[in-house]
Structure 1
Amino acid sequence: MTKHRKTLKPGEADHRRPSEAATLVDEALGRREARGRHIQFADHITESMTLIHGILNDQEHCASGGSVLGSLLRLEAQLQSAQTRLEPRARKDSHHHREDRRRVIAYYTQFSPIFNHPSPAASDTSLEALRKRPRAWLTNVTSSSHLVPSLQTRKREISSRKREQDSLFTTSSQFEPISVEDRVRIAFEIANILQRQQFLRKLTKALMLYGCPAHRLEYILKHVSDTLKVDAEFVYLPNIMLMTFFDPETHTTETHFIRQSLVFDMHKLGEIYRLEKLVGHGEVTVDEALEFIDRVADEPQFYPSWLNPFIYAIISVCGSVMFFGGRWKEAGLSAGLAMFFALYELFSERFWGFRPIWEVTVCIVIGFVSRASTKFGFCFIPTAFSSFIVILPGYYMAIAVIELISRQMVSGIVRTGYAIIFSFLLGYGVSMGSALYRAIDPNTPTDTAPDCQLAANANTCIVSESQYYHFLTVPVFSMAYCLLLRARLPRWPTVIFVSVCGFAVNWLLSCIASAPSQVIQVVPAFAVGLIGNILTKITSKMSFDAVLVAVFYLVPGSLGLKAAIGIFSGQESAYGSQGASFALSMIETCIGIAVGLGIANLIVYPKGAQRTPLLNM
């Protein structure tokens, strides 16, 4: 027969269990161990006590099998209950045994004339007495009070075993031996486990949000979880982390999916790195770590959002002169288009419909204006490319190659495909904008001027302006990226120093030594990674921000864009027959950067970090 639980009406509550659970929660929070804990520890205690209270008191939960942890709790309760009932039951059984013997002896004495074969006269008198006995006599004889003592003992043993077999399906009265002290102890153990798991979840979200390199996420989280003695596994996909917590003693698992987009903030990432070191060395408790993460997350943004248009403009001016062979007038026009790009980005964030296509639409506008400016002596490539240099996918391609080298196949392949498709997406938008203007004005001149031909083949050594301007543009480019990545002022000298060193090595190998392309791809990345790792080892501070800005000088985001324009523009562009070669060059350069950074890590940390997880590229 199926049992149904009483359905509560709206506004009606079960007053018995919540009141009992609330009493236990108050008892736990009043203990000395609960003082000074994190603000959410009370929530963990409440959740733990509710779980314990539900397992011990919910009859339907017990009948349905429950979990292994619930079975262990019930087993502990049965053992304690059996120990407390053992001595009283033994005394009671001995008392019943004596009573049964006395009743059997009295019964035998009462009917002894029958069993002893009396004389016929006596027999007739006894038989007459037996005939007049009440009908309930037989029932009284065969009742439990008149059975043989050995049979009575066997009956009690059988019924006792049956009750023990059905003990898992009985009411909560059998769990009374679990004292309040035991429940509070179990609640504290479960609350501490929940708190460590919550810290790992918050740490994961912070690392993903503030810009931790993707190939280091699993390594860092595994290192921290081992330090906290939490049995967990982590699998990273782009913008998604899969976390699974194991309980080998109870054979249970708990999986979390954490989704978080990337917003670079080097100052907060440095604070999280400092927290990792303290946790790894056991210098802070989990409560202090949770409070620190909450304080970092609640810290307001240091640089206001209205600075973004000016930051984009500065980066576009420097990038136009250094990377795309632009003159100062193309740099000025690209700065104006970059400010429009920043405002358009802020506009698209307020309207959900623009988010999927805002990069394409803004590139159409930029391509249209850049093609129109060629009537006034401007060059198309430096004007258009440097306008959205901030979103060029060179960094994502470099990270994708590093992930593939690190044997993280899924995220590496996904990110590689995204970088290539995103390059084609931007190139498609620019080509469409240019084609739209040429449809309006077919007499628009192409990039046939000598300066524009020079810009089309620009590289580190071939630029339109004097290379002495690099002494100005390289540090200013680094400062602008410090603002964009939310690095604080004390970190600027280190970031600028590493960036200048990387650019200097690249320039010397390209322009002075005329080294092969493979050497130019590997050695600058090795120099940047080596300097960053040495600074980390000496200062015990994160150098990822400095290495990241320096890598922006090396990543070939423009190559992917040139490949896309070559594919979509056909023979009208200087890149018409070079689209595939540009795409292969982009992948080849990223492989060289990954190899250089890997060699630098091998030299400085041949055995890896012993107690502090590395946060570098």
Structure 2
Amino acid sequence: MLATPGQTDFDQEVTERLKWHRPGMGKRTKSGQSISSAFSKIIKSGRDEQIKIKIHLAGTLARQTYLRKLCKSLMKYGAPTHRLEEYMNMSARVLEIEAQFLYIPGCMVISFDDSSVHTTEVKLVRTSQGVDLGKLRDTHEIYKDVVHDRIGVEEATPRLEAIMSRKPKFSPWVLVPVYGFASASVGPFAFQARLIDLPICFLLGCILGWLQLIVSPQNEMISNVFEISAAVITSFLARAFGSIKGGNLFCFSALAQSSIALILPGFAVLSASLELQSRHIVAGSVRMVYAIIYSLFLGFGITIGTVLFGLLTKNATSATTCQNPMPSQWYYFFVVGFTLCLIVINQAKWKQAPAMVLISLVGYIINFHSSKHFQGNAQVSNTLGALSIGVMANLHARIGRHADNWCLDQWERRLRPRWIKIRKRFLHHHRGKIWPASRGQTFGLNKSAQEMELRRGGYSHGLSQTSNDIDSPHASHSGGLNTPTEYPDTRPCLHRKPSSSDSTYTPRTRKIGYGLAAAAMLPAIFVQVPSGLAVSGSLVSGITSADQITRNATGVTTVANGTAAAAGSINSVAFTVGLSVVQVAIGITDHCRFVSCSVVGVSRWETAEWAVFFLELWGQ
């Protein structure tokens, strides 16, 4: 009570420090509230964990969906089947997805693994395989962008869906006459067709295209017998036209072979041999057996068609070669025409056409001229032709992107700025001469016309952009009309679109990675198959004699005690077609595969062993 003022201040200071060091007790909570707060913390942490799991699962499912759609697109549009598993493994490795892939013709078995929980999910991607070189190029671009981390699966998946939902570039009815042009183009350089034979080749090719593109997709039963039906119909009509005037007007063999050139199983044998060389035994064996049976169907169809017409007339032609063929210097134009038809049929983009035509033409030239020097040995000419195709296609795939990027750089850095300056000067000079301005001169637009232009909104926009385009310092940015008397350097610009110099220019994306060599060489390979058949001989040369065709006599083979005894001459049309196509396709595949450097290809000795095997198998 009687403390001095100094003591009072000291006591207050001590009290304040004690309050500052001593923590408060806080509010007293009940036991029920503490339990509820503990449960709320547990629930909150559980929700956070669930959110994390959902986000992780959503990302994983999105990447798996992208892999399935990519696989379906590659299979559907004709990607190299021997590299499908490699493409998918690379994509899964980049996306950090544990997956395994097993390819079987027509489907892909995908196993998604999760080592953290030891679970596996198996998916089956099944689709009808075809060839669409344009969509295949777009799909391959998306694949490269994802592999190089330029885009994510969130952007890649919608792009794949857009590609799959996009309509074909050419409708089936447009492709029907293209089939006719293709048959007419392949006849001269592959089967010695003459100029007079081309209209009939066009007609038979249109019939083939109509059967394959219009009739077969609408009826499953017809599609199952399409090969035999097409071969029977075309060979029947070919022999009918070839028998006119005793066979001196049209060439039977050229008509019969050129009409079925587009359905020869060369691509199937090519894919099968590539798969076998890549050690994909299951897929390669299945496809090879299918290609052999398919070629036998075509051969039997040709036999049936020719014999059926022989039943109708005794004067049916029996010539299996053409007389007075077209000069060989004209063959190159038909090779280019056939390649262009293949580009349209396979839905390729026009930007791919120059490289495809060049590769195809070079391959044919080498094959054709080498066949003259190595007569009687078709494997040598096929080897050289396929070697040139493989070299050029792979050079195009590896160097083409550098050429494209260099051209874009030159355009954007040098040519485009100069073009803009030249255009501005030209427009300024051109407008100044055509629209001379003198004082007292008016535009002659009345008030109603002026109001109409102002309502449309284009006149004021045109005037507002004039100063940027022609460098006029007197241009008006208002919405009113300016006469040349007031602004002599201005001319009316009604509804003028802004130039490229006014708008913001977005540089084009540069290409990365290698291109798809298979797409570039595919038309050239299609050209090589009939070219190789032309070197090896006629597809109908297996008919024993022309007399048997006219008399409808076919050979009968009897097998007893493991030996074959011929009860007459053997009619081997079916075996000739199968052997010729398989031998040519394997010879082409051997060296195209070797040059592509993906897997070590078979050697020429192994190709010869394949040929000997089929010769022994078919009793030649």
From 493, 499, 505, the equivalent of 2:366 is 505
Query: Distance between the aligned counterparts of 1:477 and 1:396, measured in 2?
Result: 20
| 1:141 matched residue in structure 2 | none
| 1:418 matched residue in structure 2 | 290
- Answer yes or no: is the 8 Å Cα contact 1:475–1:500 preserved in 2: yes
Query: How do 1:514-533 residues align onto structure 2 when only pairs under 5 Å count?
Result: 516-533=377-394
SS of residue paired to 1:241? strand
SS of residue paired to 1:303? coil
Specify every segment of 5 or more residues in structure 2 that has no aligned partner in the other structure, as ranges: 1-30, 402-514, 550-568, 601-620
| 2:77 matched residue in structure 1 | 210
What are the Cα deviations for residues 210-254 of structure 1, in whole angstroms up to 9, with x where unaligned? Answer: 110111111111111111111111111111111111112211111
Q: 1:387 to 1:581 in 2, by over 3 A?
A: closer
- Answer yes or no: is the 8 Å Cα contact 2:297–2:574 preserved in 1: no
What are the Cα deviations for residues 471-528 of structure 1, in whole angstroms up to 9, with x where unaligned? Answer: 2101111111110111121211111011011111111211246594432222211211
Q: CA deviation at 1:409?
A: 0.8
- Answer yes or no: is the 8 Å Cα contact 1:334–1:387 preserved in 2: yes
Query: How do 1:159-174 residues align onto structure 2 when only pairs under 5 Å count?
Result: none
* 2:160 corresponds to 1:289: no
Query: Distance between the aligned counterparts of 1:511 and 1:562, measured in 2?
Result: 17
Query: Distance between the aligned counterparts of 1:558 and 1:178, measured in 2?
Result: 73
What are the Cα deviations for residues 17-69 of structure 1, in whole angstroms up to 9, with x where unaligned? Answer: xxxxxxxxxxxxxxxxxxxxxxxxxxxxxxxxxxxxxxxxxxxxxxxxxxxxx
Q: CA deviation at 1:288?
A: 0.8
* 2:211 corresponds to 1:237: no
TM-score by length of 1: 0.64
| 2:114 matched residue in structure 1 | 247
From 187, 195, 206, the equivalent of 2:54 is 187
Query: Distance between the aligned counterparts of 1:249 and 1:444, measured in 2?
Result: 78
Query: Distance between the aligned counterparts of 2:544 and 2:122, measured in 1?
Result: 45
From 257, 280, 283, the equivalent of 2:124 is 257
- Answer yes or no: is the 8 Å Cα contact 2:188–2:194 preserved in 1: yes
SS of residue paired to 1:576? coil
Query: Distance between the aligned counterparts of 1:605 and 1:428, measured in 2?
Result: 36
* 2:310 corresponds to 1:336: no
Aligned amino acid, residue 321 of structure 2: Q
Q: 1:203 to 1:473 in 2, by over 3 A?
A: same
Q: CA deviation at 1:355?
A: 1.9
Report how many residues are paired: 427
Aligned amino acid, residue 407 of structure 1: R
Q: CA deviation at 1:411?
A: 1.0
| 2:548 matched residue in structure 1 | 572
What are the Cα deviations for residues 308-338 of structure 1, in whole angstroms up to 9, with x where unaligned? Answer: 1111011101111111122223332121011
| 2:618 matched residue in structure 1 | none
SS of residue paired to 1:510? helix
Aligned amino acid, residue 392 of structure 1: L
The structure with more helix, counted as a fraction of residues? 1
From 243, 249, 252, the equivalent of 1:375 is 243
What are the Cα deviations for residues 348-400 of structure 1, in whole angstroms up to 9, with x where unaligned? Answer: 32223322123322322222212222321233221122112111101211221
Query: How do 1:88-127 residues align onto structure 2 when only pairs under 5 Å count?
Result: none
Please tell me the root mean square deviation across aligned C-alpha atoms, in Å. Answer: 3.2
Query: Distance between the aligned counterparts of 2:181 and 2:588, measured in 1?
Result: 26
* 2:316 corresponds to 1:445: yes
- Tell which deviates more after alignment, 202-211 or 590-599: 590-599
Q: 1:516 to 1:561 in 2, by over 3 A?
A: closer
- Answer yes or no: is the 8 Å Cα contact 1:205–1:260 preserved in 2: yes
Query: Distance between the aligned counterparts of 1:218 and 1:565, measured in 2?
Result: 41
| 1:21 matched residue in structure 2 | none
From 524, 539, 543, the equivalent of 1:550 is 524
SS of residue paired to 1:344? helix
- Answer yes or no: is the 8 Å Cα contact 1:521–1:592 preserved in 2: yes
SS of residue paired to 1:476? helix
Query: Distance between the aligned counterparts of 1:489 and 1:209, measured in 2?
Result: 20
| 2:469 matched residue in structure 1 | none
SS of residue paired to 2:125? strand
TM-score by length of 2: 0.64
User: What is the aligned-residue identity percentage?
Assistant: 27
* 2:486 corresponds to 1:486: no
Q: CA deviation at 1:578?
A: 7.6
Q: CA deviation at 1:175?
A: 8.7
Query: Distance between the aligned counterparts of 2:155 and 2:264, measured in 1?
Result: 40
SS of residue paired to 1:339? helix
- Tell which deviates more after alignment, 420-429 or 360-369: 360-369
SS of residue paired to 1:323? helix
Q: 1:361 to 1:582 in 2, by over 3 A?
A: closer
Query: Distance between the aligned counterparts of 2:223 and 2:327, measured in 1?
Result: 40
Aligned amino acid, residue 343 of structure 1: W
- Answer yes or no: is the 8 Å Cα contact 1:394–1:558 preserved in 2: no
* 2:592 corresponds to 1:597: yes
- Answer yes or no: is the 8 Å Cα contact 2:299–2:575 preserved in 1: no
- Answer yes or no: is the 8 Å Cα contact 2:238–2:256 preserved in 1: yes
Q: CA deviation at 1:543?
A: 3.4
- Answer yes or no: is the 8 Å Cα contact 1:427–1:561 preserved in 2: no
| 1:460 matched residue in structure 2 | none
- Answer yes or no: is the 8 Å Cα contact 1:326–1:464 preserved in 2: yes
Query: Distance between the aligned counterparts of 1:228 and 1:500, measured in 2?
Result: 41
From 221, 240, 249, the equivalent of 1:353 is 221
Query: Distance between the aligned counterparts of 1:547 and 1:249, measured in 2?
Result: 44
Query: Distance between the aligned counterparts of 2:574 and 2:256, measured in 1?
Result: 18
Aligned amino acid, residue 522 of structure 1: T
Specify every segment of 5 or more residues in structure 1 that has no aligned partner in the other structure, as ranges: 1-87, 93-171, 456-462, 607-617
| 1:33 matched residue in structure 2 | none
Structure with bigger RCO (C-alpha 8 Å, 6+ apart): 2
Q: CA deviation at 1:585?
A: 4.7
SS of residue paired to 2:571? coil
Q: 1:183 to 1:318 in 2, by over 3 A?
A: same
Query: Distance between the aligned counterparts of 1:414 and 1:251, measured in 2?
Result: 33
- Answer yes or no: is the 8 Å Cα contact 2:390–2:591 preserved in 1: yes
- Answer yes or no: is the 8 Å Cα contact 1:565–1:575 preserved in 2: no
